[in-house]
A and B are shown apart, each in its own frame.
Chain A
Amino acid sequence: MSRRGRITLVGLVVAIVAVPVLAHNIGEGNAAFVQSLTGPALAAFTYLGAKHMVTGIDHILFLVGVVFYLHRLKDVVLYATLFTIGHSTTLLAGVLAEWSMNAYIVDAIIGLSVVYKAYENIGGFENWRWSPDPRAAVLVFGLCHGMGLATKLQELTLSADGLLVNLASFNVGVELGQVIALFAVVAILAWWRRQESFERSAYGLNFTLMVLGFILAEYQLAGYFLSTNGTA
Protein backbone atom coordinates (compact mmCIF):
# COMPACT_ATOMS: atom_id res chain seq x y z
CA MET A 1 0.00 0.00 0.00
CA SER A 2 1.32 3.45 -0.81
CA ARG A 3 2.33 5.78 1.98
CA ARG A 4 -0.67 7.97 1.35
CA GLY A 5 -2.88 4.93 1.31
CA ARG A 6 -1.60 3.88 4.70
CA ILE A 7 -2.06 7.34 6.14
CA THR A 8 -5.58 7.40 4.80
CA LEU A 9 -6.39 4.04 6.32
CA VAL A 10 -5.07 4.99 9.73
CA GLY A 11 -6.90 8.29 9.47
CA LEU A 12 -10.16 6.54 8.70
CA VAL A 13 -9.74 4.19 11.65
CA VAL A 14 -9.08 7.13 13.94
CA ALA A 15 -12.08 8.97 12.55
CA ILE A 16 -14.29 5.96 13.18
CA VAL A 17 -13.09 5.84 16.77
CA ALA A 18 -13.81 9.54 17.12
CA VAL A 19 -17.42 9.19 15.93
CA PRO A 20 -18.77 7.50 19.08
CA VAL A 21 -17.07 10.18 21.12
CA LEU A 22 -18.76 12.80 18.97
CA ALA A 23 -22.13 11.13 19.21
CA HIS A 24 -21.89 10.54 22.91
CA ASN A 25 -22.80 13.85 24.37
CA ILE A 26 -23.15 13.53 28.11
CA GLY A 27 -22.54 17.20 28.78
CA GLU A 28 -24.69 17.50 31.86
CA GLY A 29 -23.40 14.24 33.22
CA ASN A 30 -19.83 15.43 32.79
CA ALA A 31 -20.56 18.68 34.56
CA ALA A 32 -22.18 16.95 37.50
CA PHE A 33 -19.30 14.50 37.77
CA VAL A 34 -16.63 17.16 37.64
CA GLN A 35 -18.37 19.22 40.27
CA SER A 36 -18.28 16.26 42.61
CA LEU A 37 -14.53 15.82 42.26
CA THR A 38 -12.09 17.04 44.81
CA GLY A 39 -8.43 16.53 44.26
CA PRO A 40 -6.52 15.39 41.20
CA ALA A 41 -8.32 13.30 38.61
CA LEU A 42 -5.87 12.88 35.77
CA ALA A 43 -7.69 10.46 33.55
CA ALA A 44 -11.06 12.18 33.91
CA PHE A 45 -9.72 15.57 32.89
CA THR A 46 -7.57 14.17 30.11
CA TYR A 47 -10.62 12.46 28.68
CA LEU A 48 -12.73 15.60 29.08
CA GLY A 49 -10.11 17.67 27.28
CA ALA A 50 -9.96 15.22 24.38
CA LYS A 51 -13.74 15.05 24.21
CA HIS A 52 -14.09 18.84 24.21
CA MET A 53 -11.73 19.08 21.27
CA VAL A 54 -13.15 16.25 19.21
CA THR A 55 -16.74 17.35 19.74
CA GLY A 56 -15.93 21.03 19.38
CA ILE A 57 -17.16 21.67 15.86
CA ASP A 58 -15.85 25.22 15.94
CA HIS A 59 -12.33 24.03 16.76
CA ILE A 60 -12.51 21.29 14.16
CA LEU A 61 -13.73 23.61 11.41
CA PHE A 62 -10.90 26.03 12.13
CA LEU A 63 -8.38 23.21 11.91
CA VAL A 64 -9.90 22.10 8.60
CA GLY A 65 -9.39 25.61 7.29
CA VAL A 66 -5.83 25.74 8.57
CA VAL A 67 -4.62 22.46 7.08
CA PHE A 68 -6.65 22.72 3.90
CA TYR A 69 -3.78 23.82 1.72
CA LEU A 70 -0.94 22.35 3.74
CA HIS A 71 0.56 19.55 1.68
CA ARG A 72 3.59 18.80 3.75
CA LEU A 73 3.36 17.08 7.09
CA LYS A 74 6.06 19.48 8.28
CA ASP A 75 3.70 22.40 7.73
CA VAL A 76 0.81 20.64 9.43
CA VAL A 77 3.00 20.09 12.48
CA LEU A 78 4.15 23.72 12.42
CA TYR A 79 0.66 25.18 12.28
CA ALA A 80 -0.71 22.68 14.76
CA THR A 81 2.07 23.64 17.15
CA LEU A 82 1.32 27.34 16.74
CA PHE A 83 -2.35 26.66 17.41
CA THR A 84 -1.42 24.57 20.42
CA ILE A 85 0.83 27.25 21.89
CA GLY A 86 -1.97 29.75 21.43
CA HIS A 87 -4.78 27.77 23.00
CA SER A 88 -2.68 26.27 25.77
CA THR A 89 -1.54 29.71 26.87
CA THR A 90 -4.99 31.17 27.24
CA LEU A 91 -6.49 27.96 28.58
CA LEU A 92 -3.98 27.80 31.43
CA ALA A 93 -3.83 31.54 32.07
CA GLY A 94 -7.55 31.97 31.75
CA VAL A 95 -8.42 29.30 34.29
CA LEU A 96 -5.59 29.99 36.74
CA ALA A 97 -5.90 33.77 36.66
CA GLU A 98 -9.69 33.44 36.59
CA TRP A 99 -10.11 35.74 33.60
CA SER A 100 -13.72 36.26 33.00
CA MET A 101 -14.95 36.72 29.46
CA ASN A 102 -18.39 36.19 28.17
CA ALA A 103 -18.44 32.70 26.70
CA TYR A 104 -20.86 33.71 23.94
CA ILE A 105 -18.62 36.53 22.73
CA VAL A 106 -15.54 34.32 22.76
CA ASP A 107 -17.35 31.57 20.88
CA ALA A 108 -18.63 34.10 18.36
CA ILE A 109 -15.05 35.20 17.73
CA ILE A 110 -14.07 31.56 17.30
CA GLY A 111 -16.79 31.26 14.69
CA LEU A 112 -15.33 34.26 12.91
CA SER A 113 -11.88 32.64 13.04
CA VAL A 114 -13.31 29.89 10.86
CA VAL A 115 -14.58 32.51 8.41
CA TYR A 116 -11.22 34.25 8.40
CA LYS A 117 -9.27 31.09 7.62
CA ALA A 118 -11.65 29.99 4.88
CA TYR A 119 -11.59 33.48 3.35
CA GLU A 120 -7.82 33.34 3.34
CA ASN A 121 -7.99 29.96 1.65
CA ILE A 122 -9.98 31.31 -1.28
CA GLY A 123 -7.31 33.94 -1.71
CA GLY A 124 -9.33 36.67 -0.07
CA PHE A 125 -6.25 38.41 1.20
CA GLU A 126 -4.30 38.37 -2.03
CA ASN A 127 -3.71 41.84 -3.42
CA TRP A 128 -4.35 43.39 -0.05
CA ARG A 129 -1.72 45.95 0.82
CA TRP A 130 -1.16 44.22 4.10
CA SER A 131 -2.34 40.84 5.16
CA PRO A 132 -1.45 39.03 8.35
CA ASP A 133 1.20 36.33 8.29
CA PRO A 134 -0.86 33.11 8.28
CA ARG A 135 1.30 31.72 11.04
CA ALA A 136 0.71 34.74 13.27
CA ALA A 137 -2.99 34.53 12.51
CA VAL A 138 -3.15 30.89 13.61
CA LEU A 139 -1.30 31.74 16.80
CA VAL A 140 -3.61 34.64 17.61
CA PHE A 141 -6.72 32.64 16.82
CA GLY A 142 -5.25 29.89 18.95
CA LEU A 143 -5.36 32.35 21.82
CA CYS A 144 -9.06 32.91 21.13
CA HIS A 145 -9.83 29.19 20.96
CA GLY A 146 -8.01 28.75 24.24
CA MET A 147 -10.17 31.42 25.86
CA GLY A 148 -13.17 29.47 24.62
CA LEU A 149 -11.83 26.32 26.26
CA ALA A 150 -11.12 28.26 29.45
CA THR A 151 -14.66 29.62 29.69
CA LYS A 152 -16.08 26.11 29.23
CA LEU A 153 -13.84 24.80 31.99
CA GLN A 154 -14.68 27.72 34.27
CA GLU A 155 -18.37 26.90 33.94
CA LEU A 156 -17.65 23.67 35.80
CA THR A 157 -16.76 24.73 39.30
CA LEU A 158 -13.37 23.18 39.73
CA SER A 159 -12.08 22.35 43.14
CA ALA A 160 -8.91 24.25 44.01
CA ASP A 161 -7.43 21.05 45.32
CA GLY A 162 -5.60 19.47 42.43
CA LEU A 163 -6.51 22.29 40.03
CA LEU A 164 -3.07 22.47 38.43
CA VAL A 165 -2.88 18.76 37.78
CA ASN A 166 -6.43 18.65 36.47
CA LEU A 167 -5.91 21.68 34.28
CA ALA A 168 -2.69 20.24 32.85
CA SER A 169 -4.45 16.94 32.24
CA PHE A 170 -7.27 18.76 30.49
CA ASN A 171 -4.74 20.51 28.26
CA VAL A 172 -3.04 17.22 27.45
CA GLY A 173 -6.44 15.84 26.61
CA VAL A 174 -7.12 18.76 24.31
CA GLU A 175 -3.85 18.06 22.49
CA LEU A 176 -4.69 14.38 22.17
CA GLY A 177 -8.10 15.28 20.84
CA GLN A 178 -6.44 17.66 18.42
CA VAL A 179 -4.10 14.95 17.18
CA ILE A 180 -7.02 12.61 16.63
CA ALA A 181 -9.01 15.24 14.81
CA LEU A 182 -6.05 16.41 12.73
CA PHE A 183 -5.18 12.88 11.76
CA ALA A 184 -8.64 12.29 10.43
CA VAL A 185 -8.82 15.67 8.67
CA VAL A 186 -5.36 15.45 7.11
CA ALA A 187 -5.99 11.89 5.95
CA ILE A 188 -9.28 12.79 4.31
CA LEU A 189 -7.78 15.90 2.69
CA ALA A 190 -4.76 13.94 1.46
CA TRP A 191 -7.04 11.43 -0.22
CA TRP A 192 -9.29 14.12 -1.61
CA ARG A 193 -6.44 16.16 -3.05
CA ARG A 194 -5.62 13.25 -5.29
CA GLN A 195 -9.07 13.37 -6.83
CA GLU A 196 -9.45 15.39 -9.96
CA SER A 197 -12.43 17.20 -8.54
CA PHE A 198 -10.36 18.82 -5.81
CA GLU A 199 -9.57 22.15 -7.44
CA ARG A 200 -13.19 22.77 -8.28
CA SER A 201 -14.60 21.65 -4.96
CA ALA A 202 -11.89 23.40 -2.91
CA TYR A 203 -13.59 26.73 -3.45
CA GLY A 204 -16.96 25.26 -2.61
CA LEU A 205 -15.70 23.71 0.59
CA ASN A 206 -14.09 26.93 1.77
CA PHE A 207 -17.24 28.81 0.91
CA THR A 208 -19.15 26.31 3.02
CA LEU A 209 -16.65 26.84 5.83
CA MET A 210 -17.36 30.56 5.69
CA VAL A 211 -21.11 29.93 5.85
CA LEU A 212 -20.66 27.54 8.79
CA GLY A 213 -18.36 29.99 10.57
CA PHE A 214 -20.92 32.76 10.18
CA ILE A 215 -23.72 30.49 11.41
CA LEU A 216 -21.63 29.62 14.48
CA ALA A 217 -20.90 33.28 15.16
CA GLU A 218 -24.55 34.30 14.71
CA TYR A 219 -25.74 31.42 16.89
CA GLN A 220 -23.41 32.52 19.69
CA LEU A 221 -24.33 36.18 19.32
CA ALA A 222 -28.00 35.27 19.50
CA GLY A 223 -27.25 33.40 22.70
CA TYR A 224 -25.47 36.45 24.04
CA PHE A 225 -28.33 38.82 23.35
CA LEU A 226 -30.92 36.41 24.65
CA SER A 227 -29.09 35.77 27.88
CA THR A 228 -29.25 38.20 30.76
CA ASN A 229 -25.80 39.51 29.87
CA GLY A 230 -27.17 41.06 26.73
CA THR A 231 -30.26 42.57 28.23
CA ALA A 232 -29.00 43.81 31.58
Chain B
Amino acid sequence: MKRRVFAAFGALVIASILTLAFVLPAEYDLDPLGTGAILGLLGLSGQTTDTSRAILAPMDSKPVRDVRTYSLPPFASVEFKYDLAEGAVMIYEWESTAEVVFDFHAEPTIGGEAATQSFSQGRTSGESGSYIAPFDGIHGWFWENRSLANVTVVVKTNGFMTGGTEYRDNDKIQVQIGE
Protein backbone atom coordinates (compact mmCIF):
# COMPACT_ATOMS: atom_id res chain seq x y z
CA MET B 1 0.00 0.00 0.00
CA LYS B 2 2.80 2.39 0.83
CA ARG B 3 4.06 1.98 -2.71
CA ARG B 4 0.78 3.21 -4.10
CA VAL B 5 0.65 6.23 -1.82
CA PHE B 6 4.16 6.92 -2.96
CA ALA B 7 3.01 6.60 -6.56
CA ALA B 8 0.22 9.09 -5.96
CA PHE B 9 2.68 11.49 -4.39
CA GLY B 10 5.03 10.99 -7.31
CA ALA B 11 2.18 11.80 -9.69
CA LEU B 12 1.53 14.99 -7.76
CA VAL B 13 5.18 16.03 -7.98
CA ILE B 14 5.37 15.34 -11.71
CA ALA B 15 2.08 17.15 -12.30
CA SER B 16 3.29 20.16 -10.34
CA ILE B 17 6.50 20.36 -12.33
CA LEU B 18 4.61 20.09 -15.62
CA THR B 19 2.08 22.69 -14.51
CA LEU B 20 4.77 25.14 -13.40
CA ALA B 21 6.91 24.51 -16.47
CA PHE B 22 4.32 24.48 -19.23
CA VAL B 23 0.74 25.11 -18.19
CA LEU B 24 1.17 28.30 -16.16
CA PRO B 25 3.35 30.02 -18.78
CA ALA B 26 1.06 29.03 -21.62
CA GLU B 27 -2.25 29.75 -19.95
CA TYR B 28 -1.56 32.51 -17.47
CA ASP B 29 1.63 34.21 -18.60
CA LEU B 30 3.29 33.13 -15.32
CA ASP B 31 6.78 31.77 -15.53
CA PRO B 32 8.08 30.65 -12.15
CA LEU B 33 10.67 28.29 -13.63
CA GLY B 34 11.67 30.45 -16.56
CA THR B 35 10.71 27.71 -18.99
CA GLY B 36 8.07 29.85 -20.61
CA ALA B 37 10.64 32.37 -21.73
CA ILE B 38 13.03 29.68 -22.95
CA LEU B 39 10.38 27.81 -24.89
CA GLY B 40 8.55 30.87 -26.13
CA LEU B 41 5.28 29.93 -24.49
CA LEU B 42 4.62 33.34 -23.01
CA GLY B 43 1.98 35.26 -24.84
CA LEU B 44 0.25 32.09 -26.00
CA SER B 45 -2.69 32.91 -23.82
CA GLY B 46 -3.11 36.33 -25.35
CA GLN B 47 -3.53 37.61 -21.85
CA THR B 48 -1.52 40.53 -20.69
CA THR B 49 -0.67 40.56 -17.03
CA ASP B 50 0.99 43.78 -18.04
CA THR B 51 -0.56 46.45 -15.87
CA SER B 52 1.26 49.33 -17.50
CA ARG B 53 -1.75 50.36 -19.57
CA ALA B 54 -2.81 53.07 -17.18
CA ILE B 55 -6.21 54.63 -16.98
CA LEU B 56 -4.55 58.02 -16.95
CA ALA B 57 -1.31 58.35 -18.88
CA PRO B 58 0.50 61.69 -18.70
CA MET B 59 2.74 62.24 -21.71
CA ASP B 60 5.94 64.23 -22.12
CA SER B 61 4.71 66.00 -25.23
CA LYS B 62 1.65 68.01 -26.01
CA PRO B 63 -1.11 66.61 -28.20
CA VAL B 64 -1.11 67.68 -31.82
CA ARG B 65 -4.12 68.60 -33.93
CA ASP B 66 -3.74 67.82 -37.59
CA VAL B 67 -5.90 68.11 -40.68
CA ARG B 68 -5.14 66.47 -44.01
CA THR B 69 -7.09 66.92 -47.20
CA TYR B 70 -6.73 64.69 -50.25
CA SER B 71 -8.35 65.01 -53.63
CA LEU B 72 -8.61 61.68 -55.33
CA PRO B 73 -9.37 61.43 -59.03
CA PRO B 74 -11.16 58.28 -60.22
CA PHE B 75 -9.31 55.11 -59.17
CA ALA B 76 -6.57 57.03 -57.43
CA SER B 77 -5.39 56.13 -53.98
CA VAL B 78 -3.30 57.65 -51.25
CA GLU B 79 -1.79 56.48 -48.03
CA PHE B 80 -1.04 58.59 -45.02
CA LYS B 81 0.58 57.39 -41.84
CA TYR B 82 1.36 59.00 -38.54
CA ASP B 83 4.32 58.18 -36.34
CA LEU B 84 3.06 56.99 -32.99
CA ALA B 85 4.83 55.43 -30.03
CA GLU B 86 3.41 52.40 -28.29
CA GLY B 87 0.54 53.42 -26.09
CA ALA B 88 0.14 56.81 -27.71
CA VAL B 89 -3.47 57.82 -28.21
CA MET B 90 -5.03 59.41 -31.26
CA ILE B 91 -8.60 60.60 -31.79
CA TYR B 92 -9.50 60.56 -35.45
CA GLU B 93 -12.28 61.66 -37.72
CA TRP B 94 -12.25 61.29 -41.47
CA GLU B 95 -14.90 62.02 -44.04
CA SER B 96 -15.11 61.73 -47.79
CA THR B 97 -17.45 63.33 -50.30
CA ALA B 98 -18.36 59.89 -51.61
CA GLU B 99 -17.75 56.28 -50.61
CA VAL B 100 -14.16 55.15 -50.67
CA VAL B 101 -12.35 51.94 -49.94
CA PHE B 102 -10.24 52.37 -46.86
CA ASP B 103 -7.90 50.43 -44.66
CA PHE B 104 -6.51 51.63 -41.34
CA HIS B 105 -3.38 49.68 -40.64
CA ALA B 106 -0.12 49.97 -38.76
CA GLU B 107 3.41 48.80 -39.36
CA PRO B 108 5.69 48.31 -36.39
CA THR B 109 9.21 49.70 -36.40
CA ILE B 110 10.34 46.28 -35.21
CA GLY B 111 8.93 43.79 -37.63
CA GLY B 112 8.32 46.03 -40.58
CA GLU B 113 5.94 45.41 -43.42
CA ALA B 114 5.62 41.73 -42.73
CA ALA B 115 4.14 42.51 -39.32
CA THR B 116 1.61 45.02 -40.57
CA GLN B 117 -1.77 44.74 -38.91
CA SER B 118 -5.03 46.10 -40.21
CA PHE B 119 -7.52 47.37 -37.68
CA SER B 120 -10.36 48.71 -39.72
CA GLN B 121 -11.22 48.31 -43.34
CA GLY B 122 -14.18 48.62 -45.64
CA ARG B 123 -16.05 50.87 -47.98
CA THR B 124 -17.65 53.89 -46.47
CA SER B 125 -17.66 57.66 -46.45
CA GLY B 126 -16.20 58.26 -43.02
CA GLU B 127 -15.20 56.92 -39.70
CA SER B 128 -14.31 58.46 -36.37
CA GLY B 129 -13.01 56.98 -33.18
CA SER B 130 -10.03 56.52 -30.96
CA TYR B 131 -6.83 54.58 -31.42
CA ILE B 132 -4.19 53.43 -28.98
CA ALA B 133 -1.01 52.47 -30.80
CA PRO B 134 -0.14 48.86 -29.97
CA PHE B 135 3.50 49.35 -30.95
CA ASP B 136 6.03 51.93 -32.09
CA GLY B 137 5.63 52.48 -35.78
CA ILE B 138 3.62 54.11 -38.49
CA HIS B 139 -0.16 54.06 -38.26
CA GLY B 140 -2.71 55.36 -40.70
CA TRP B 141 -4.95 55.02 -43.68
CA PHE B 142 -5.13 53.84 -47.22
CA TRP B 143 -7.96 55.45 -49.19
CA GLU B 144 -8.94 54.54 -52.71
CA ASN B 145 -11.55 56.15 -54.90
CA ARG B 146 -13.30 53.43 -56.86
CA SER B 147 -15.81 55.71 -58.50
CA LEU B 148 -15.83 57.72 -61.72
CA ALA B 149 -15.94 61.10 -60.02
CA ASN B 150 -13.41 63.04 -57.99
CA VAL B 151 -13.60 62.44 -54.26
CA THR B 152 -12.16 64.54 -51.46
CA VAL B 153 -11.09 62.94 -48.21
CA VAL B 154 -10.54 65.05 -45.10
CA VAL B 155 -9.01 63.54 -41.99
CA LYS B 156 -8.78 65.35 -38.67
CA THR B 157 -6.82 63.99 -35.79
CA ASN B 158 -5.93 65.02 -32.28
CA GLY B 159 -3.35 63.01 -30.43
CA PHE B 160 0.22 62.25 -29.62
CA MET B 161 1.51 61.77 -33.14
CA THR B 162 5.09 62.80 -33.70
CA GLY B 163 5.22 62.99 -37.47
CA GLY B 164 3.50 62.01 -40.68
CA THR B 165 4.34 60.54 -44.05
CA GLU B 166 2.35 60.62 -47.25
CA TYR B 167 2.60 57.80 -49.75
CA ARG B 168 1.31 58.76 -53.14
CA ASP B 169 2.15 57.50 -56.61
CA ASN B 170 5.23 55.70 -55.33
CA ASP B 171 6.45 58.84 -53.57
CA LYS B 172 7.08 58.96 -49.89
CA ILE B 173 6.77 62.49 -48.53
CA GLN B 174 7.34 63.41 -44.96
CA VAL B 175 5.04 66.15 -43.88
CA GLN B 176 4.81 68.55 -41.03
CA ILE B 177 1.82 67.83 -38.91
CA GLY B 178 -0.04 70.12 -36.63
CA GLU B 179 -1.81 73.38 -37.05
Tell me the minimal C-beta distance from A83 to chain B in angstroms: 22
Chain A residue numbers with a CB within 8 Å of B10 are 207
Q: In the complex, are the beta carbons of A219 and B4 less than 8 A apart?
A: no
* Residues of chain A at interface, number, CB under 8 A: 20
Taken together as a complex, chains A and B put the C-alpha atoms of A218 and B16 apart, in Å, by 7
**Does B11 lie at the interface of the complex (its beta carbon under 8 Å from any beta carbon of A)?**
yes
Q: In the complex, are the beta carbons of B1 and A218 less than 8 A apart?
A: no
**Does B103 lie at the interface of the complex (its beta carbon under 8 Å from any beta carbon of A)?**
no
Determine chain A's interface SS by DSSP, over half rule: helix
**Does B8 lie at the interface of the complex (its beta carbon under 8 Å from any beta carbon of A)?**
yes
Q: In the complex, are the beta carbons of B4 and A122 less than 8 A apart?
A: yes
Q: In the complex, are the beta carbons of A214 and B23 less than 8 A apart?
A: no
Tell me the minimal C-beta distance from A24 to chain B in angstroms: 19
Q: In the complex, are the beta carbons of A123 and B19 less than 8 A apart?
A: no
Chain A residue numbers with a CB within 8 Å of B5 are 124
Chain A residue numbers with a CB within 8 Å of B8 are 115, 119, 124, 210
Q: In the complex, are the beta carbons of B11 and A214 less than 8 A apart?
A: yes
Tell me the minimal C-beta distance from B56 to chain A in angstroms: 22
Taken together as a complex, chains A and B put the C-alpha atoms of A123 and B30 apart, in Å, by 36
Q: In the complex, are the beta carbons of B1 and A219 less than 8 A apart?
A: no
Taken together as a complex, chains A and B put the C-alpha atoms of A223 and B23 apart, in Å, by 11
Q: In the complex, are the beta carbons of A211 and B28 less than 8 A apart?
A: no
Taken together as a complex, chains A and B put the C-alpha atoms of A226 and B4 apart, in Å, by 33
User: Which of B12, B14, B16, B28 contacts A223, CB < 8 Å?
Assistant: B28
Q: In the complex, are the beta carbons of B15 and A214 less than 8 A apart?
A: yes
- Within A122-144, the residues touching B (CB, 8 Å) are 122-124, 126-128
| Given pairs A219-B19, A222-B23, 12 additional interface contacts (CB within 8 A) | A122-B4, A122-B7, A207-B10, A210-B7, A210-B8, A210-B15, A211-B15, A215-B18, A215-B23, A218-B15, A222-B28, A222-B30
Binding site for A on B (CB under 8 A): 1, 4-5, 7-8, 10-12, 14-16, 18-19, 23-24, 27-28, 30
5 nearest interchain CB pairs? A214-B15, A210-B11, A124-B4, A218-B19, A127-B1
Task: Name 11 interchain pairs, CB-CB below 8 A, sorted by A.
Answer: A123-B4, A126-B4, A207-B7, A210-B15, A214-B14, A214-B16, A219-B19, A219-B23, A222-B23, A222-B28, A226-B28
